[in-house]
Amino acid sequence: MEAHATARYVRTSAQKAKLVLDVIRGRHVNAALDTLRYVRKGVARDIEKVLRSAIANAQQKDGFAGDVEQLVVSACYANGGPSAKRVRPAPMGRAFRVVKRTAHLTVHVSERTVKLAPSVDSVEEPEATQLAQKKERVSDTGRRRSSSKRSRTAEK
């Protein structure tokens, strides 16, 4: 079960938001909220609001098991929104352009799934697969095949 929340037109750049989103990606929601509370970036408050909204959306879904402890931040990203262009007076009668950027913040939360280890029978030995790959590369004459130009010219 997965739920998501989006905040649009947040008054920050997507690049600055991605720095904070990279910190919480893959964490449990409670750990992510604790982390966001102590991150010293202004956009962390906006991301915290979106994360809380995603948690509330997950609780409202039909397939929710009822335990917030099982929720994990499965994906989070920031896309660039529209930019407002302003003009700032500069020396000698010139003007500098000021770009006020916005971002769209999206957070996906999903229930943690328990991954089972593969059975012993299905696991191949790495040495056996490496030997099989070497046999495929060796030609009938016993020389190795090469795709580089240098080795082809050396054989002639």
**Rounded to an integer, what distance in angstroms lies between the CA atom of residue 21 and that of residue 27?**
11
pLDDT tens-place string over residues 103-143: 999 999 999 866 656 665 555 566 666 766 766 666 555 55
Residues of the chain with CATH 3.90.470.10: 2-111
What token pair was written down for 141? 């004459």
The percent of residues in the chain predicted with pLDDT above 70, rounded, is 72
pLDDT > 70? residue 36: yes
Predicted local confidence at residue 10, as pLDDT: 98
Q: What is the pTM of this model?
A: 0.70
First vs last C-alpha separation in the chain: 62
Predicted local confidence at residue 96, as pLDDT: 98
Strand partners, 84: 100
Residue 40 pLDDT grade (very low, low, confident, very high; cuts 50, 70, 90):
very high
The strand ranges marked E within 33-145 are 71-80, 84-89, 95-100, 103-111
Pick among 3.90.470.10, 3.40.47.10, 2.60.40.1250, 3.40.250.10: CATH of 2-111: 3.90.470.10
